[in-house]
Amino acid sequence: MERNSDTVSTPQDQAKPATILVAEDDRINQLVARKMLGTLFPKARVIEAVDGEQAVTLYREHQPDLILMDLQMPRLDGYAATRVILEEARSSGRHTRVVALTAGLVHGERERCIEAGMSEFLSKPLDQDTLKNVVESLIGPTLL
C-alpha cells in the first residue's frame, strides 16, 4: 500500500516486530520452538540461548518482548535466570514476560513458576495452537 504525505502514521505502523528469546538447552526442542514461532509469527525475531547464563546475557543485549524459558538448563536453571531477568526488568521499568517450558508436570511446578514471576507455563512437547494463544495473549498480535 502506498502512502501519501497526508497519511498519518500510527504507533502500530512504527512498531518494530516482537523479539522472542528461546532459552532451551536441548537442540531438538530449540529447533521445534524456533520453527513453530517462525511459522506462527513470521515477522517476529527469534533469538536463542542454550543455558540460563546465556539467556540473561541475551536479555541484556536484546531486551526481548517475550522469553520462553526451559526450567532445567545447565549453568543457571530457568528459575534462577528468570529471577535475575525480572529483577533487572523491574529496576529498569520494563515489563518482561517469561513463559516456563517444562518436559514434565511435577506436582507444584506451575505454582513454583508463578512464584518465580513467570507469566505462563507450557508443557513440552509444545502444542502449536497453545503456543500461539499464549504468545498472542502476552504480547498481542500487533507486535507479531
CATH number, position 31: 3.40.50.2300
> What range defines the domain where residue 123 resides?
16-137
- Whether residue 46 is contained in a domain is answered as yes
- Whether residue 110 is contained in a domain is answered as yes
Q: What is the pLDDT of residue 114?
A: 87
Q: State pLDDT tens for residues 7-48.
A: 443 444 456 889 999 999 999 999 999 999 999 999 999 999
CA 128/CA 125 separation, integer angstroms: 10
Q: Strands, E, within 26-96: which ranges?
A: 45-49, 66-70
Residue 9: CB atoms within 10 A of its CB come to: 8
Number of folded domains in the chain? 1
- Whether residue 57 is contained in a domain is answered as yes
**What DSSP string describes the chain?**
----TTPPPPHHHHPPPPEEEEE-S-HHHHHHHHHHHHHH-TTSEEEEESSHHHHHHHHHHH--SEEEEESS-SSS-HHHHHHHHHHHHHHHT---EEEEEESS--TTHHHHHHHTT-SEEEESSPPHHHHHHHHHHHH-GGG-
Question: 144 pLDDT band (50/70/90 cuts)?
Answer: low
Q: State pLDDT tens for residues 94-141.
A: 989 999 998 876 778 888 898 899 999 999 999 999 999 999 999 987
- Whether residue 65 is contained in a domain is answered as yes
- Whether residue 5 is contained in a domain is answered as no
Q: What is the pLDDT of residue 142?
A: 65
- Whether residue 83 is contained in a domain is answered as yes
- Whether residue 28 is contained in a domain is answered as yes
- Whether residue 142 is contained in a domain is answered as no
pLDDT above 60 for 4: no
